[in-house]
Amino acid sequence: MNSLMIAAILLVLLGLAYQVGWSRSRALATSGGGRFHSRFHYHGALVAIWAVAPAALILGLWALFGQTVSASYVQSLLPVELVSAGGNPLATAISRVRALASGYGVAGEVADYEAAAADALARFQLIVTLIVVGSAAACGILALLFARRRITPRLRARNQVERAITLLLVACSAIAILTTVGIVASLVSEAIRFFTFVNPLDFFFGTVWNPVFSSTGGGSGRYGLLPLLWGTTMIAIIAMLVALPIGLMTAIYLNQYAPRGVRAVVKPIVEILAGIPTIVYGFFALTTVGPFLSGFGAMIGLDIRGTSALTAGLVMGIMIIPFISSLSDDILSQVPTSLRDGSYGLGATQSETIRRVLLPAALPGIVGAFLLAVSRAIGETMIVVLAAGNSPVLRANPLEPTSTVTVSIVNQLTGDTDFTGPQSLVAFALGLTLFVITLCLNVVALYIVRRFREQYD
Amino acid sequence: MNQVLTSRSALEMSATHSKDALASHQTVRTPDPDAHPSRLRADGVSVFYGDKQALFDVSIDIPEKSVSALIGPSGCGKSTFLRCINRMNDTIEGCKVTGDITLDGQNLYDGNLDVVELRARIGMVFQKPNPFPKSIFENVAYGPKIHGLARNKTDLEEIVVTSLQKAGLFEEVKDRLHSPGTGLSGGQQQRLCIARAMAVGPEVILMDEPCSALDPIATAIIEELIDELRSNYTIVIVTHSMQQAARVSQKTAFFHLGKLIEEGPTEAIFTNPREKRTQDYITGRIG
Ligand SMILES: Nc1ncnc2c1ncn2[C@@H]1O[C@H](COP(=O)(O)OP(=O)(O)OP(=O)(O)O)[C@@H](O)[C@H]1O
Ligand SMILES: [Mg+2]
């Protein structure tokens, strides 16, 4: 019984129930049951909802808790010493039994108790599946019959379908929210584990980043956040220095100066920049911009390294231009034309109008866009991985290689990851820090943007 | 003088008629012997939005130091004509104006004319009050600042205060000149916009339905203000209210479907319209 078949059964149930509700209400109406409150397809939809909802609920609970149930069943079959010992060996044993039960082979010798447990588990799973699917189907049919009997001319099927739709929408948003909460919770709990290894003060205020991998032996390394945070900040500043003026002026040109034809061509082209995958920007930085910059530096007597904060920042700035320009364009369009006309009507020129009326009126929104762009720059990974040089040392010169929070997360999580030592757990602390920073930026930005919107409603 | 002018434009119009069948209409003109001389004249003005023609060959003289009202059903081109006078139509993409509008004999559509300076001479008040999101003071000071009308701070303050006084708003806002202009009531905002327009010292003030967003009391205050301003300014007002046109204006022009149907002294238009369409509109049968 695989999930495809279950989905097929649900679909059949759905179609059947709809058909039943539809034809039942129609039959009632033609046999002179009086004027129907709702049209037939609403009755069909209502019966369908009644039939599918309990079945889906049962299947959903099974999907959520089936694993836990089968795990505890397997535990009851395993030797007592193994269960009471707990930890990794137990988890390994359970997954070995599962693999055996589903017919996949396992590495190494299969112990007797494992084979026995696997047999029992296979039988257990078959029975449980049959029970679950059977009860789901039975509930569905029962609910279908019940809903069919409810059909009367007075039944407000239309309103009830409306309520069911609202519920569905609420459930979907709940999933999104719960996922967020789950992610944050796992970040926090892993970060707390990290802080049992490293003092939070050493982490947040440390100036040396040198995580020694356990495999290479020797101590547990030093985890100072500041060099990474500084690298992130420096690159973000360079990126914003590039993106803000160019993006804003592009927006002003497109919004105020460009004739319709030019706008229709330029705007999509600028937005193509936003569609380029960041990894592509990354090797653009690595293979084109970096060498160009170092060649240019050599020409004017500056020692610019190929991979440096400057390279990464420049390319990231280019990546962010469309972000700033399309947000600012929207915001400029929201400034009412009546303000523009008022200024022209007083004899102001176009640039006077833009400087003295349009930009001040749009400023809060543009600040919001700016902050959103900064949080984008801070969270950006691929470009810095390739182009920043991965040198987590605290230094101010943007022409030298540097490293960022995101790059370090990538480094700590590739390769040796057992999630028991600080070497990989530090990634969660870094992720949490990054998350908190971008969250704050986004909240402030959204607040500003919203205030600005209200002003012109 | 008015009569001479009228017959002149009528003559020219009949000349264009033979070429353009579309514009085959004749504006009915009732001369006004008491009218002030006209410095502002429109002559054969047509306006196109893209391919669509919105105004057909409009000719009219606007007497100075008096109020002229433009009336007509919605979409007949009143605002379009008004915007031609200070070339606000330039800001609309795809809008093309043909014909002449002259102020003191100077053609406003001359390529050499400085539009920005023109708009300082011909001020405009819009349908919806549109104060800038700045303080009351800054709203009024905006025009003088960009045109460099004030030599120093005291000068500027004086201009602002005089303009607010002329707009009859000073007494109400003198204690809060530095609070935002958007915080005023609708009627106050509209007077602020009038003050803002007057601060640049215009000769002509164009008003596009200045009272349509206001309640009757605020409307009465503005109408009174218009009547006071008349002695110093040439005012052109678009209105949907017959009563308003009758109350504030000395000359009325009736537009219909982009054509100027009839123009003449307000009294004559309202008591004795010579065109059937004018009469129908005034008595509420079209519109
Ligand atoms: N920006 C524009 N683009 C295209 N057509 C326009 C534009 N502005 C006005 N028009 C058209 O020109 C005609 C005249 O419009 P106008 O705004 O001058 O009418 P109006 O007499 O002021 O009407 P109302 O009393 O409703 O304000 C209308 O048919 C309108 O659709
Ligand atoms: Mg209008």
The per-residue pLDDT for range B80-109, each reduced to its tens digit, is 999 999 999 988 888 999 999 999 889 999
Portion of chain A with pLDDT greater than 90, in percent: 47
Task: Tell me if B5 is assigned to some domain.
Answer: no
Please report residues of B whose CB lies closer than 8 A to that of A346.
119-120, 123, 142-143, 146, 196-197, 200
Q: Which of A155, A188, A208 is the last residue of a domain?
A: A155
Task: Tell me if A417 is assigned to some domain.
Answer: yes
Q: Are residues A115 and A230 in the same domain?
A: no
B74 CB under 6 A from ligand 1?
yes
Query: Which domain, by its residues, includes A121?
Result: 3-155
Q: Are residues A251 and A364 in the same domain?
A: yes
Q: Are residues A246 and A148 in the same domain?
A: no
For residue A288, is pLDDT > 70?
A: yes
pLDDT score recorded for residue B287: 60
- We report the CATH number of the domain holding residue A355 as 1.10.3720.10
Report the distance separating Cα B190 and Cα B205, nearest Å: 14
Rounded mean pLDDT of chain B? 88
Q: Are residues A424 and A348 in the same domain?
A: yes
Task: Tell me if B16 is assigned to some domain.
Answer: no
pLDDT score recorded for residue A446: 85
For residue A320, is pLDDT > 70?
A: yes
Task: Tell me if A380 is assigned to some domain.
Answer: yes
Number of domains within chain A = 2
Task: Tell me if B22 is assigned to some domain.
Answer: no
pLDDT score recorded for residue B13: 44
Report the distance separating Cα B229 and Cα A115, nearest Å: 103
Number of domains within chain B = 1
Task: Tell me if B7 is assigned to some domain.
Answer: no
Q: Are residues A293 and A402 in the same domain?
A: yes
Task: Tell me if B195 is assigned to some domain.
Answer: yes
Mean pLDDT for the stretch of residues B115-132? 92
Read off the pLDDT band of A79 (50, 70, 90).
Answer: confident
pLDDT score recorded for residue B9: 46
Q: Are residues A244 and A334 in the same domain?
A: yes
**CA nearest ligand 1 atom 2, residue:** B49
Report the distance separating Cα A176 and Cα A181, nearest Å: 9
Q: Closest by alpha carbon to B209, among B60, B99, B72, B46?
A: B72
Q: Which residue of A has its CA nearest to B192?
A: A342
Q: Are residues A268 and A361 in the same domain?
A: yes
Q: Which of A109, A139, A155 is the last residue of a domain?
A: A155
pLDDT score recorded for residue A423: 83
Task: Tell me if A329 is assigned to some domain.
Answer: yes
A255 touches chain B (CB under 8 A): no
Read off the pLDDT band of A455 (50, 70, 90).
Answer: low
pLDDT in tens, B44-86: 999 999 999 999 999 999 999 999 999 999 999 999 999 999 9
CA of B127 to the centre of ligand 2 (A): 8
- Looking only at the bridges linking them, the beta strands covering B95-103 and B106-107 are antiparallel
Through-space distance between the first and last CA atoms of chain A, rounded to whole angstroms:
56
Helix (H, G, I), strand (E, B) or coil at A299: helix
Identify which has the larger pLDDT, A211 or A343: A343
**CA nearest ligand 1 atom 26, residue:** B74
**CA nearest ligand 1 atom 16, residue:** B77
Q: Are residues A243 and A382 in the same domain?
A: yes
- We report the CATH number of the domain holding residue B112 as 3.40.50.300
Ligand (nearest to CA of B94) = 1
Q: Are residues A262 and A401 in the same domain?
A: yes
ipTM passes above 0.90 = no
Q: Which of A128, A155, A182 is the last residue of a domain?
A: A155
Q: Closest by alpha carbon to B123, among B65, B61, B187, B193?
A: B193
pTM: 0.76
For residue A240, is pLDDT > 90?
A: yes
Please report residues of B whose CB lies closer than 8 A to that of A260.
93
Query: Which domain, by its residues, includes B109?
Result: 39-282
Report the distance separating Cα A457 and Cα B68, nearest Å: 34
